[in-house]
């Protein structure tokens, strides 16, 4: 992977190691592409948040940047009417399933959703879709942090670091479809799980679902 | 490769099987269609009645359980082959008819033609398949033997040239096998129609010490059951195809991924695998060549999304069956991280036929871009429901009117839904398009897994779209944003429309969101989920508008927009059939002894409509629901 | 073995009933959590059964789904200690097995009713009135789809196509398929359950009497 390739993102020529995923190349070069679920350490990207769409020359439909390995001569645009439309819809969908109220949110000003909104000029309110009611109980059983599931965007970062970085296995996905959520075994409080309070999961949460107690 | 020896070994097996079948055919053989569908229709009782009666009469006849012949409308089905008579197929054989067939035909040589459906071989007494319009259009390849051979006895398959293709395969190099499949232009029958040869080629060229082949029998599409039927009726055809594919790509282990909801299919495949091993057709040194390969069954646990290749692999590895981004495709990076070739049951079923009868033969059937046949589970408002197999390129009109016998009860055809939850609804005007992957795609539907539902004037297009979306929404794995949240929003909007709470701008939102879900979703489930909605919006927008603007369901199907009304002029004082049929006691007797419905209590279950005797025909469905009040007011 | 299982199950039913009913009312969903408080001795019984299965099968992650299927095949559902035991044996986090058990339709965390009613919601059944049949059951049993009646007699589920489209609408009760249903037939099926139960009880009483009679003489 030591071979370098030259690619073009938004008319900027960039040199990057061949095979590196486009999303990281762009972010490393201060070109923002919206993302929630991506983790650099993870070999196989989960590609689940569907926000990092870009337009690639020669491919008709937008592609996700987190899954695209860079190759020599790749020409990419981070914005296009089609890309913007998909990102807007994905963002709108996520907002309808996310408990708003940024002022009270521990992640206020560090939230990835806020960042996407600012960068792409997207609103916190959807005109097209009715928001889902979100009033899941908040898990406050741990000393160091709280887990507010109503703010969770199901990016899966916490589950991955819990399993592969902390190697604890306290949380995981359960159920499926619209009911899919991050839970402990038996959906009990975190205090009743093998959680060691290492805090790795809190560090990677892009929103205010997992947050340290002040 | 010691191909001479393998050919000899095969010939030996076949000769023995043929001898056994010939001695079997000297006696009378009674075959009962005992696939799951037949069992549901009561074939077990029929079988027992036949056996009892045969024993009672002391006749030398054998009762054999076979699979599904595809005539679902005429279950339970029995085929009788009596020496000196043509083999005859009888439909709707209940216990009474079973006894009569034994008495009249087996004992007294009267074949009871009045109950026969069709004869299996040309004769002077009774018409055969090709004498019916259905037989003219149908061309059976992979369904040909289904229902006519005993799936639990490998000799039946061997006697019909089964495993000959395997023996032939061993005479040529794996590359030549792949070349044949490529040349035949066989396309994957799982839904999308990806060329099978290319997939095989990629997997074959992948360099690795171990490779896998998987048969995808995770058929979850509501309304499609051909994979189950093939596994239950002719499992060896699939096994042979899987072995050939393993030889071609160099795999040493294969899996058949079956839904656990299909217990009988699982059982029959198990038996078939065992028998194949006994005959040396599976396991170490197959047919005495140096090729070794074995197959295991993996039972799926009921998740529609596991039909998607990457999700299927995940579930086999003991993790949640959620899809992954492709590439890498399983053909290069699949089960256990190894190159894995995954093919649908039907795709694999064609393989032995192509190898045995040749590429040119296969290409002579169907169209140039989609050669071969298409298998459909023909259901809904059509006379002859069942499994049908027609050459690609047959028009939908021929399929529905000639093979299916048209729409019954003198109702008007409205639409045909092709491809289940991933497919779309096509209107009358689209009936002349030929059935092939590309034409259907262009029209907005897909071939899908082969569910084909005929809808008539009584079916509401908004409701059918809502139904399919409800299915995909429930089966969505929830991993990606578009599918998890997008389908839920679409479903909520459709729900509002069918309840009469919709707004006109919902229609644009549905279309936009549907298009975005198609483009933005991670896997095939999401990418096709909006199809039923998008096609009905395209072809039946007026129905959506009627629901929204007039709160009226033109097909009288959406319960919230309906009212039931008993027409006093038609109702009889002396009948109270409806009163007894009502599960909620909503029907009362008026002072003048006529009946009326308490709208508050009515749950709109249709019971009274069916209970009212045809001579009165007094119950009427009205939409919008307010019409009932209006009528009542008019009556005073 | 199965008989013993049913005995535990029956006993459990009576004692845990009240708690179960209360929880059902609160949560309205049987899939998501372990709702059942296990009785004394029941946990040991479950673990015994699971150990037996684990002993006779490959205990690696790849075999997890088949293992869960086998355990459910014996116990009828996947109780909490069973999942914990399996996870420990395979050496993976229990939450992963829990996730799997909640993901797949076939797997259940709570015991089904004595009569498992599965209403087919395949296309053909739906278009001809499957929803009406489902609603009839819901109305008569006073539960919604996915629930079990408080007395654990009937559980109601919807299933995708069972492949018997020609006799739609279809319902599968335990393993028996009933076709061409109407709301009146729904009442008939439920009445039949009562009849079967009474017959069973009568049979049991007879047996008891017989054994008592035997003791007397």
CB C103 within 8 A of CB C139: no
Say if A50 is an interface residue toward chain B (CB within 8 Å).
yes
Cross-strand partners of B374:
B390
Average of per-residue pLDDT across A6-26: 96
Number of domains making up chain A: 2
Question: Domain check: are A151 and A213 in the same one?
Answer: yes
The per-residue pLDDT for B240 is: 98
Q: Is pLDDT at B605 greater than 70 in this prediction? A: yes
Q: Hey, how many other C-beta atoms are within 10 angstroms of the C-beta on B609?
A: 16
Domain boundary among A19, A49, A82: A82
**Pairwise CB contact (< 8 Å): A176 & C32:** no
Question: Domain check: are A75 and A148 in the same one?
Answer: no
Most distant CA pair in chain B: distance in Å? 93
Average of per-residue pLDDT across A40-44: 93
Residue B169: partners with Cβ closer than 8 Å, 6 or more residues away: B177, B244, B247, B248, B355
- Percent of chain A at pLDDT exceeding 90: 95
Count, residues in chain A: 214
Domain membership flag for residue A122: no
Residues of A in contact with C95 (CB under 8 A): 169-172, 174, 183-185, 193
- Residue that has been written with the tokens 């997939």 in this structure: B199
At residue B75 the predicted structure's pLDDT band, cuts being 50, 70 and 90, is confident
Q: Is pLDDT at B376 greater than 60 in this prediction? A: yes
Cross-strand partners of B376:
B388
Rounded to a whole number, what is the distance in Å from the CA of C22 to chain A's nearest CA? 18
Residues of B in contact with A44 (CB under 8 A): 324-325
At residue B41 the predicted structure's pLDDT band, cuts being 50, 70 and 90, is confident
At residue C159 the predicted structure's pLDDT band, cuts being 50, 70 and 90, is confident
Output DSSP code: residue A155: -
**Pairwise CB contact (< 8 Å): B39 & C160:** no
Please name each of the domains of chain C with its CATH number.
2-103 (no CATH), 115-206 (3.40.30.10)
Neighbours of chain C (3+ CB pairs under 8 A): A, B
pLDDT in tens, C83-115: 999 999 999 999 999 999 999 988 989 888 889
Q: Is pLDDT at C7 greater than 60 in this prediction? A: no
CB B421 within 8 A of CB B346: no
Domain membership flag for residue A109: no
Token pair for B180: 């044949």
Domain boundary among A55, A82, A109: A82
pLDDT in tens, B379-419: 889 999 889 999 999 999 999 999 999 999 999 999 999 98
* More confidently predicted of B72 and A96: A96
**Pairwise CB contact (< 8 Å): A176 & B509:** no
Which class is domain B562-635?
A: alpha beta
Average of per-residue pLDDT across B93-116: 93
CATH fourth-level superfamily of B162-362: NADH-ubiquinone oxidoreductase 51kDa subunit (3.40.50.11540)
The per-residue pLDDT for C177 is: 84
- Residue that has been written with the tokens 């998501």 in this structure: C32
CB B21 within 8 A of CB B156: yes
Average of per-residue pLDDT across B171-200: 94
The per-residue pLDDT for B3 is: 62
Question: What is the spatial distance between Cα A30 and Cα B232, in angstroms, rounded to a whole number?
Answer: 59
Q: Is pLDDT at B43 greater than 50 in this prediction? A: yes
Give the chain A residue whose CA is nearest to the CA of C91.
Answer: A169
Lowest-pLDDT range of B192-201, C29-38, C182-191: C29-38
CB B390 within 8 A of CB B138: yes
- Percent of chain B at pLDDT exceeding 90: 82
Residues of B in contact with A129 (CB under 8 A): 489, 509, 513
Give the chain A residue whose CA is nearest to the CA of B526.
Answer: A177
Which of the four CATH numbers 3.40.50.720, 3.30.70.100, 3.10.20.600, 1.10.260.40 does domain B373-459 have? 3.10.20.600
Residue ranges making up the domain that contains A46: 4-82
Q: Which of A172, A193, A194 sits opposite C99 (nearest CB)?
A: A172
User: Shortest CA distance to B623 belongs to which of B568, B566, B559?
Assistant: B559
CATH number of this structure's domain B22-131: 3.40.30.10
ipTM score above 0.90: yes
Summary mean pLDDT of chain B: 93
Residues of A in contact with C84 (CB under 8 A): 185
Q: Number of CB pairs < 8 Å for A and B?
A: 89
**Pairwise CB contact (< 8 Å): A85 & B516:** yes
Cross-strand partners of A76:
A9, A56
| CATH value at residue A187 | 3.30.70.20
Say if C103 is an interface residue toward chain A (CB within 8 Å).
yes
The per-residue pLDDT for B145 is: 92
The per-residue pLDDT for C166 is: 73
Q: Which of B261, B316, B385 sits opposite C165 (nearest CB)?
A: B385
CB A171 within 8 A of CB A189: no
| CATH value at residue A19 | 3.10.20.740
- Percent of chain B at pLDDT exceeding 70: 99
Average of per-residue pLDDT across B327-356: 96
Across the beta sheet with A138-139, the strand order is: A138-139, A145-148, A210-212
Residues of A in contact with C93 (CB under 8 A): 163, 168-170, 172, 185, 194
**Pairwise CB contact (< 8 Å): C164 & B451:** no
Residues of B in contact with A86 (CB under 8 A): 516, 519-520
The per-residue pLDDT for C212 is: 63
CB B423 within 8 A of CB B398: no
Average of per-residue pLDDT across B297-310: 92
Give the chain C residue whose CA is nearest to the CA of A169.
Answer: C93
pLDDT in tens, B221-272: 887 889 999 999 999 999 999 999 999 999 999 999 998 888 889 999 999 9
Domain membership flag for residue A127: no
């Amino acid at each position: 992977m030591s071979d370098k390739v030259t690619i073009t993102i938004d008319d900027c020529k960039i040199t990057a190691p061949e095979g590196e995923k486009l999303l990281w190349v762009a972010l490393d070069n201060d070109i923002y592409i919206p993302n929630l679920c991506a983790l650099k350490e993870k070999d196989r990207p989960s590609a689940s948040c569907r926000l990092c769409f870009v337009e690639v020359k020669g491919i008709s439909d937008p592609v996700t940047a987190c899954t695209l390995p860079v190759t020599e001569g790749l020409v990419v645009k981070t914005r296009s009417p089609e890309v913007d439309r998909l990102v807007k819809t994905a963002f709108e969908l996520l907002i309808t399933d996310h408990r708003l109220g940024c002022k009270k949110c521990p992640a206020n000003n560090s939230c990835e959703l806020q960042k996407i909104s600012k960068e792409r000029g997207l609103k916190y309110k959807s005109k097209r879709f009715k928001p889902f009611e979100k009033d899941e109980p908040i898990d406050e059983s741990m000393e160091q942090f709280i887990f507010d599931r109503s703010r969770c965007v199901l990016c899966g970062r916490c589950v991955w670091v819990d399993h592969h970085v902390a190697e604890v296995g306290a949380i995981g996905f359960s159920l499926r479809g619209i009911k899919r959520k991050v839970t402990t075994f038996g959906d009990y409080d975190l205090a009743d799980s093998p959680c060691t309070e290492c805090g790795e999961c809190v560090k990677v949460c892009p929103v205010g679902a997992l947050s340290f107690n002040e | 490769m010691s191909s001479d020896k393998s050919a000899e070994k095969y010939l030996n097996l076949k000769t023995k099987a043929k001898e056994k079948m010939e001695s079997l055919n000297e006696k009378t053989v009674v075959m009962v269609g005992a696939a799951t569908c037949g069992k549901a229709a009561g074939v077990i009782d029929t079988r027992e009645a036949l056996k009892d009666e045969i024993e009672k009469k002391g006749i030398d006849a054998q009762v054999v359980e076979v699979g599904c012949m595809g005539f679902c409308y005429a279950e339970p089905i029995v085929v009788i082959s009596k020496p000196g008579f043509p083999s005859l197929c009888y439909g709707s054989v209940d216990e009474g008819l079973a006894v009569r067939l034994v008495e009249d035909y087996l004992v007294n040589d009267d074949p009871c033609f009045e109950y026969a459906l069709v004869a299996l071989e040309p004769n002077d007494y009774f018409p055969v398949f090709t004498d019916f319009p259905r037989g003219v259009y149908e061309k059976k390849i992979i369904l040909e033997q289904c229902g006519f051979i005993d799936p639990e006895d490998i000799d039946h398959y061997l006697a019909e040239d089964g495993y000959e293709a395997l023996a032939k395969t061993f005479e040529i190099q794996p590359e030549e096998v792949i070349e044949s499949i490529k040349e035949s232009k066989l396309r994957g029958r799982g839904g999308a129609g990806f060329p099978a040869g290319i997939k095989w080629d990629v997997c074959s060229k992948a360099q690795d010490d171990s490779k896998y082949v998987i048969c995808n029998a995770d058929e979850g599409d509501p309304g499609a059951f051909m994979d189950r039927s093939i596994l239950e009726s002719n499992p060896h055809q699939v096994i042979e195809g899987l072995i050939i594919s393993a030889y071609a790509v160099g795999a040493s282990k294969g899996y058949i991924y079956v839904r656990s909801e299909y217990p009988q299919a699982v059982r029959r495949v198990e038996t078939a695998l065992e028998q194949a091993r006994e005959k040396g057709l599976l396991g170490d040194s197959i047919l005495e060549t140096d090729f070794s390969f074995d197959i295991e069954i993996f039972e799926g646990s009921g998740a529609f999304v596991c039909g998607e290749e990457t999700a299927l692999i995940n579930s086999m590895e003991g993790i949640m069956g959620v899809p992954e981004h492709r590439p890498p495709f399983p053909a290069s990076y699949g089960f256990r991280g190894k190159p894995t070739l995954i093919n649908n049951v039907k795709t694999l079923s064609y393989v032995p036929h192509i190898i045995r009868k040749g590429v040119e033969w296969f290409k002579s059937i169907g169209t140039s871009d989609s050669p071969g046949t298409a298998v459909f589970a023909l259901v809904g408002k059509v006379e002859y429901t069942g499994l049908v197999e027609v050459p690609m390129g047959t028009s939908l009109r021929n399929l529905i009117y000639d093979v299916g016998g048209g729409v019954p009860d003198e109702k008007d055809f409205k639409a045909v839904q092709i491809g289940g939850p991933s497919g779309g609804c096509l209107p009358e005007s689209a009936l002349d398009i030929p059935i092939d992957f590309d034409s259907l795609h262009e029209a907005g539907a897909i071939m899908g897994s082969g569910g084909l539902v005929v809808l008539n004037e009584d079916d509401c297009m908004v409701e059918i779209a809502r139904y399919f979306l409800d299915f995909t929404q429930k089966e969505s794995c929830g991993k990606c944003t578009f599918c998890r949240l997008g389908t839920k929003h679409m479903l909520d909007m459709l729900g509002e429309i069918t309840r009469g709470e919709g707004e006109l701008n919902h229609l644009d939102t549905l279309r936009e969101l549907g298009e975005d879900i198609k483009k933005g979703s991670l896997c095939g489930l999401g990418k096709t989920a909006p199809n039923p909605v998008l096609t009905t919006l395209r072809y039946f927008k007026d129905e959506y508008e009627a629901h929204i603007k007039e709160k009226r369901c033109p097909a009288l199907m959406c319960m919230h927009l309906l009212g039931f009304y008993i027409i006093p002029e038609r109702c009889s004082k002396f009948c109270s059939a409806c009163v007894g049929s009502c599960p909620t006691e909503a029907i009362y007797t008026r002072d003048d002894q006529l009946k009326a419905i308490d709208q508050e209590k009515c749950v709109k279950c249709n019971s009274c409509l069916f209970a009212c005797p045809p001579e009165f025909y007094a119950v009427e469905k009205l939409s919008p629901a307010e019409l009932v009040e209006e009528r009542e007011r008019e009556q005073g | 073995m199965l008989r013993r299982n049913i005995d535990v199950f029956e006993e459990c039913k009576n004692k845990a009933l009240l708690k179960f009913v209360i929880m059902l009312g609160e949560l309205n969903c049987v899939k998501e959590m372990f709702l059942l408080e296990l009785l004394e001795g029941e946990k040991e019984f479950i673990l015994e059964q699971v150990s037996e299965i684990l002993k006779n099968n490959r205990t690696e992650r790849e075999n997890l789904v088949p293992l869960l299927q086998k355990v459910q095949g014996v116990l009828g559902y996947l109780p909490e200690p069973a999942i914990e035991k399996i996870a420990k044996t395979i050496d993976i986090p229990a939450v992963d097995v829990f996730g799997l058990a909640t993901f797949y339709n076939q797997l259940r965390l709570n015991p089904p009713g004595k009569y498992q009613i599965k209403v087919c919601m395949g296309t053909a059944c739906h278009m001809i009135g499957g929803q009406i049949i489902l609603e009839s059951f819901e109305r008569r049993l006073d539960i919604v789809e996915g629930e079990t009646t408080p007395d654990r007699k009937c559980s109601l589920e919807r299933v995708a196509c069972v492949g018997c489209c020609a006799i739609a609408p279809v319902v599968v009760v335990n393993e028996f398929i009933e076709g061409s249903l109407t709301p009146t037939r729904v009442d008939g099926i439920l009445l039949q359950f009562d009849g079967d139960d009474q017959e069973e009880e009568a049979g049991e009483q007879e047996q008891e009497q017989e054994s008592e009679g035997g003791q007397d003489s």
